[in-house]
Amino acid sequence: MKKNLNILLILLFIPLAVLRADEGMWLPSLIGELRIGDMQEKGFRLSADDIYQINQAAITDAVVSFGGFCTGELISAEGLLITNHHCGLGSIQRHSSLENNYLDEGFWAMSREEELPNLELYVRFLREVQDVTETVLEGVEDGITEQSREQIIGRNIRKLQDEAMDRTQWKAVTKSFYYGSEYCMFLYEEFNDVRLVGAPPKAVGNFGGDTDNWIWPRHTGDFSFFRIYADENNNPATYAAENVPYKPRNFLPVSAGGVDTGDFTMVCGFPGNTDQYLLSSDLEMIIGKSLPAKIRIRTERMEVMQNQMDKSDEIQIKYSAKYARVANAWKKWQGVIKGINKVEAIAQKKDYEQKFSGWVCRDPAGRREYENVLDSLECLIKKESDLILAYEYQREILGAIEILRFAGNFMDLVEAFQNREIGEYYLDNTIDIAREQSSDFFKDYTVAIDMEIFRRLLIIYMADLPETYYPVPLQEAMQKYRGDIDGYTTYLFDKTIFSSKEKIMSLLEDPDQADLKKIENDPVFSLARACEDLSAKIRHSYRSITDLKNTIYRLYVKGLREMEPDRGFYADANGSMRIAYGQVRDYRPRDATRYGSLTTLDGIIEKSYLSMEDYIIPEKLRELYEQKDFGPYTVNGKVPVCFIASNHTSGGNSGSPVLNADGHLIGINFDRNWEGTMSDYVYDVNQCRNIVVDIRYVLFIIDKYAGAGHLIDEMKIIPK
């Protein structure tokens, strides 16, 4: 008994930073100051300068923001880039057709001439991080309104960024941290000529489909290859046939040595958004109200799309990427709710809030600025909860109707006609943009899907929201049609020009005032404009609450950092580059269930016998397995496919490099386990895992399946 008591006392006095093993998303510029010692204790064999350094090549120079929504990394001196298959899916889909179905069949460029341009795609290299807090907050005084504060900060940021871009020609982006307490400016070099090099068929790149999404064990070859091109001087350039492969400052060596449970791992990428410091009441609103509503809405959308995709290969191609985007968040949100409940995160947060209250009370005079923080936040969270459905439905319902978004694009054209005094060039340019948008829209649009989604979601919208949140045309239509949603839906899609490619493209050939009237009087355009007006009002009301919340959260986090000065506080993810580190680890998702940390090709073959569409595999992959034609990519006679680790990741980390203790590429991050998706709000080292495609499986597919060994020849392979 005495021994157990001593252990308990030791645990109570271990610093919180130690107890939070593997948690955190750290700015690369602060790694040396905050984390390098802990990383090296856990096995990292490099220095902070090897990770990030302004004037010399470092790991961060081999990592890019891929299209602003994923991460990618350079793996050759010839600009070869690897990211996830699902990150490249949009580009793969745009190049696909019934004749060349790269989604189903895969694509491999066997020469540089065969690599496919993607005019919509860009990558950004982080070149420098600057702490600009003092400059950004210059002129901000205590007691001013949040609106005034934002105006001052906005002016300071614009001036700062303009000066930086004039000086460097790089793009400057300034981000806030700790709810606006601190600011950093990030300087990026952007490249716009990015070409598709290779992608496995979706039966490899998306093996497991929706069934396995956010699930471990996983057997997905979630990778694709692109190449960055530059001008003859190695500078960024728009696409041109004469451009040449980019020579990067640095690229990542590829390790053929693999991983074992317990190995050190590091992730470098661009996680999107996290909210680690929310109060328990905020978390209760999210998992009790906001997420369930969004899950219900997306369930309806997915069912409609899937029904039509099952009937037509053409629609399957058109809607594969759309469906994947909708389904990805839909399943994740369910995991968030499950995970938060499993670790009793709300109760943990309530305990932490009581600890904060006690800390404030122990020195009421010295900590007076914090005495009303929790009560003020609780009040604002209640107000936000009353508005949350109206806010979410503007995005998840009104924003989900494709034809409304499309018609909304024509507001610029109407404005250009109404303000012709601005100049004919502006009008002509607006018409050209409308033509391009229309061509892109109809390439991947099916009226029947959009019409049924509109009908179903309108039922939810009207059942859950009072009439004060109906756009005016909807109010009028419900009176005219006496609540008949089916009748209104039929009328809307029958009478609009925006469902017809022929009508829209004809109108845009040489539009005049009569065409302008057609647009303005169109029922879908009228509804789209009214929805935008309504959404703006709801966003304004919602923003007025969240602005106040952010002001008080800024104070709350300031107080937390004072309360625990020795704790390693990391800022929430906000799209800026972060470093996370941990270990290859197994885990127990539920009672009497333990998952190992590695999967192999054997598991793919086992799943393929289940006769499920998500587990269909290419015949060539089965032949390679049966012939045991694995090349040098095996461990104990088995081909490794995926592994899991305890790195703290989020959306945007898709495609991030997973590195070993020597900074060599061992895998590509692509997912989290379902039970650990709540790491956007709460991290738990026993539950949270990032899922990684093993680089040896990538090499196996390139070499043995695709016969694209020339890509491997480009890489620097570190042998076993």
Catalytic residue numbers? 86, 222, 654
Cα dihedral across residues 627, 633, 638, 641: positive or negative: negative
Q: Which residues contact 425 (CB under 8 A, 6 or more apart)?
A: none
In DSSP terms, which residues pair with 185 in a beta bridge? Answer: 130, 174
Decide: 242 and 359 in contact? Cβ < 8 Å: no
Decide: 273 and 422 in contact? Cβ < 8 Å: no
DSSP label at 576? S
In DSSP terms, which residues pair with 268 in a beta bridge? Answer: 579
Nearest to 593 by CA among 208, 212, 217, 210: 217
519 burial level (CB within 10 Å; 0-12, 13-18, 19+):
buried
| 550 CB neighbour count, 10 Å cutoff | 17
For residue 68 the two structure tokens come to 């602003």
Decide: 519 and 413 in contact? Cβ < 8 Å: yes
Any idea which residue has 């179905």 for tokens?
101
Helix (H) or strand (E) holding 582: strand 578-583
Distance CA 646, CA 668 (A): 14
Q: Nearest 10 degrees: CA dihedral of 416, 419, 421, 422?
A: -50
For residue 38 the two structure tokens come to 């802990």
Distance CA 308, CA 320 (A): 11
Q: Nearest 10 degrees: CA dihedral of 469, 474, 475, 477?
A: -170
- β-pairing, 640-645 with 598-600? antiparallel
Decide: 122 and 192 in contact? Cβ < 8 Å: yes
- β-pairing, 224-230 with 244-245? antiparallel
Distance CA 3, CA 1 (A): 5
**Cα angle 73-75-77, degrees, rounded to a multiple of 5:** 120
Distance between start and end Cα atoms, the chain: 49
Percentages (nearest 5) of helix, strand, coil residues in the chain = 50, 15, 35
694 burial level (CB within 10 Å; 0-12, 13-18, 19+):
buried
